[in-house]
Structure 1
Amino acid sequence: MEGANKMAHSEVHYFQSYNHHGIHEEMLKDEVRTNTYKNAIYQNAHLFKDKVVLDVGCGTGILSMFAVKAGAKQVIGVDMSTIIEKAREIVAVNGMSDKITLIQGKMEEITLPVDKVDIIISEWMGYFLLYESMLDTVLWARDRYLVPGGLIFPDKAHIYMAAIEDGDYKDEKIGFWNNVYGFNYTPMQKVALAEPLVDTVELKAVVTKPSLAYSIDLYTVKVEDLSFSVPFTLECERNDYIHAFISWFDIEFSKCHKPVKFSTGPHAKYTHWKQTVFYISDYLICNKGETISGQISSKPTERNPRDLDVVVSYQFEAQDPTRSRGETLSYKMC
């Protein structure tokens, strides 16, 4: 019972965080995110014309209004947080109250005013794609409400890995604990290493070619598939040091007349998801052409299914055996 209470409390905290306007401002100002959804919907108005659309986690209602503009007959937006009260006002001042129905509540617990929907739209992605994501809720809605042959916007996601040189920042974040006002604080290094960093990584810091680690197809993926353990192989593109692995994701709207996509990688335009940095305990010295073989595992924590336990293991076989090394590192995203 105590565990259940902790989970309920964590989930309430998650949804309450979306009550604040600041997080919605950040998402709306993310032009890559918002314009990609807008283009995917507007450029495919033929898919939305006269359709019933479900917006899972509708927030301020921007995707719902895009769908109406594209010709949807009816849009139902669902959100757990109180921001939906503002969404109702926004929908009203834009003259769309007759087309958009907004329901506050947990998707799995409410009843929609329709038996089935033709299209599900959702901006469900979190940091590292799955941290604090709503994908499990989207999949529940898919299985319960989407008509056979119905569409999901977006419908594909891909997680990538690479390795970076980040000595200065790592020393600032991890090395700081070696001497704190004359005291040895190294026990704190383990805590610092176990917390992935969400930050913007400059492309010039990337030492390896990227590796596709995991792909998700929203039409077929199951909730249990969101716990995964997959290999990756990274090829070094220059002689350099490696201090961390990074991860990012790409998103696709593959059912569009012309596929629409965006990336959250260091090579692409800024998004609020940035990249996720996993520091290793020491550093590697790599030469061009050498490879790092690794495995990345991710699963929801027992305490809160929106938090993640992530494990990265790697083995670096250098041309010079004195530079070879490997380890397994555990991280918590919570």
Structure 2
Amino acid sequence: MSDDECPPLCEMETGGDSNGEEEEADEWEVAEEQNDPVRCLFCEQISPTMTVAIRHAKEQHEFDLGEVRRRFHLDEYSYIKMINYIRREKPEPAVFRSGTSAFWTDDKYLKPVENETWLMFDLDELDEILLNGNGAGSGGARENGNDVGDTMTLTTDQYRKLQGIINELTAQLREKENLLQHAASDIEKMKESFRNLLEQQEQKKSKAPEEKIAQIREELKHCVSTVAVEDDQGYFNTYSHFGIHHDMLSDYVRTASYRDAILENGEIFRDKTVLDLGCGTAILSMFAARAGAKDVISVDQSDIIYQAMDIVRRNKIDNIKFVKGRLEDSELPVEKVDIIVSEWMGYFLLFEGMMDSVIYARKQYLKEGGFILPNRCNISLAGYGDLDRHKEFIGFWKDVYGFDMSCMKKEVLREATVEV
């Protein structure tokens, strides 16, 4: 079908009707350019556009909407509440320059007081208005009377704000870069540590059995001295209180056995130099002095040693010298001793945790042919069942105030219970 054969869509007339279409187009263009008048938030001033109203509020009332948005972190809802709050409560503009948190949080301010032009304003358009010199000219062709091309003119206030934002973002970027550098450095350190660990494992695998044994012996020799004093401080603090010494001295069987072993072997102690390791209240030191020792050196890291000094002074014993500190870190007044005494045995024989220190003292300070008291021990084990104790510690979790907590049994069974 040719164009000539196409029927017209509707009957068209020339003349007056075409003029009517032109008039309608003109009316449409005018409607697009038209803006509702805007009443000022703080006075009765009527502005032709929102841009002019925002500029008026800033110049006449020092109410900078951009600054208010930044200060109070306005979003769409808080902006609506703020406008309704101003219309209802009619506050002074100064209150918005001093506060830092919104005081219009009540939801009642979501309901507009009247047909409000400010509520039809899109807050996202504020940046464009501020950057365009608060709205001078139409279509952005001019700004504050200056032609706008590749160059934009900003007020001093706008420039300072923009510079502040740039500085803040730059600082944040530097901080993130520093964090990334630290993270990269940590990753490299972890990689290096892992490589070293693998190399050490390979070296250990390649060592001959004799070398491994020699290395273990060397590590055992110095293992105590390599532990920081701070790591041992909790252990020593437990011996600073009189309570534990009362318990030990009240154990007549043990203390009397030490006394008899020392006093009944006076010929061994006479005119000898004795080291009392972990002296506590110095009870063994005084036994050794009574047995005829020439000099007794008493060593202890805990603060109970100060009480031991007073005890020895009160009992008028003058051949006992005290050294406060760990034996591994201390310098004794003699190079070697003839006898080492130490109450190193505790619950289950090794509970005191002093065996490594006794071995260190023997290697470093005991003369050839010297004595250690005690120098041997036995551990005897006997099986025994106590259903009542089992029920108290294990069966307890079956019914706890009507609740089944049996899953706790596994954790309880992993730890031994020590009773004396």
Query: TM-score, with normalisation over the residues of structure 2?
Result: 0.45
Amino acid at match of 1:155: N
The count of aligned residue pairs is: 195
**Greater strand proportion:** 1
- Which whole-Å deviations, capped at 9, do the CAs of 1:105-159 have from their partners, x for residues lacking one? 0010101000100000000123222234211101100000000000000010111
Residue correspondence of structure 1 range 54-133 to structure 2 within 5 A? 54-96=275-317, 98-133=318-353
| Local SS of the residue matching 1:120 | strand
Partners of 2:418 and 2:328 in 1: CA distance: 30
Unaligned runs of 5+ in 2: 1-226
- Which whole-Å deviations, capped at 9, do the CAs of 1:209-262 have from their partners, x for residues lacking one? xxxxxxxxxxxxxxxxxxxxxxxxxxxxxxxxxxxxxxxxxxxxxxxxxxxxxx
Alignment partner for residue 399 of structure 2, among 164, 179, 182? 179
| Local SS of the residue matching 1:164 | coil
**How far off its partner does 1:92 sit?**
0.4
- Which whole-Å deviations, capped at 9, do the CAs of 1:136-191 have from their partners, x for residues lacking one? 10110000000000000001011122111211111111100111111111222122
Partner of residue 167, structure 1:
387
Higher alpha-carbon Rg:
2
Amino acid at match of 2:342: S
Partner of residue 357, structure 2:
137
Alpha-carbon RMSD across the aligned residues, in angstroms, is 1.7
In structure 2, do the counterparts of structure 1 residues 191 and 138 end up closer, same or farther at CA, with 3 Å as the change threshold?
same
| Local SS of the residue matching 1:156 | coil
Residue correspondence of structure 1 range 42-57 to structure 2 within 5 A? 42-57=263-278
Residue correspondence of structure 1 range 135-284 to structure 2 within 5 A? 135-199=355-419, 274=420
| Local SS of the residue matching 2:327 | coil
- Which whole-Å deviations, capped at 9, do the CAs of 1:22-63 have from their partners, x for residues lacking one? 000110111011100000001110110000000000000000
Question: Deviating runs (4+, > 2 A) in structure 1?
Answer: 6-10
Unaligned runs of 5+ in 1: 1-5, 200-273, 275-334
Amino acid at match of 1:22: G
Partner of residue 78, structure 2:
none
Q: Which has the higher contact order (CA 8 A, sep 6+)?
A: 1
Partner of residue 36, structure 1:
257
Partners of 1:191 and 1:63 in 2: CA distance: 41
What fraction of aligned residue pairs are identical, expressed as a percent?
51
Amino acid at match of 2:263: Y
Partners of 2:228 and 2:416 in 1: CA distance: 22
| Local SS of the residue matching 2:348 | coil
| Local SS of the residue matching 2:330 | coil
Amino acid at match of 1:55: D
